[in-house]
Amino acid sequence: MRRLLAPRWLAWHALAIVVTVVFVRLGLWQWDRAAATGSPQNMGYALQWPAFALFVVAVWWRVSRDAVRPPREARPRRPVRRAGPEPVPAVPAIEEEDPELAAYNRYLAELNQRSR
């Protein structure tokens, strides 16, 4: 929390407050203009300014929170050891099969045994 009270952060807090107040005030001014002219365009702008103010508050909240406590993605993680897939047992080649297929299967079984 001390970090948020540093002079640099106090300036950012003040800027966020000023911008939020200005946006709300612009929304109220635009609302008065919409009421006076009956223009739907002014009514749309009157609704946009408070949305901008809410956006400023949301960004200020997220940045302040991340300064105190970094997001989970930025934290170092412990490596997770996962077991590999279970080896499939080799099926013995039957001589009734195609001779080329049986030779290939024996070759694969031999490679499997060597890798262990």
Domain ranges of the chain: 2-71, 88-116
Q: What is the pLDDT along the chain (116 residues), one digit of tens a residue?
A: 677 777 778 888 899 999 999 999 999 999 999 999 988 888 998 999 999 999 999 999 998 888 888 667 666 667 777 777 777 776 665 656 678 888 888 899 899 888 87
pTM of structure:
0.55
Q: Work out the burial of residue 22: count CB atoms within 10 Å of its CB; fewer than 13 is exposed, 13-18 middle, 19 or more buried.
A: middle
Amino acid 91: pLDDT? 67
Q: What pLDDT shows up at residue 86?
A: 74
pLDDT at 59: 94
User: Closest Cα partner for 60 from 107, 4, 1, 2?
Assistant: 4
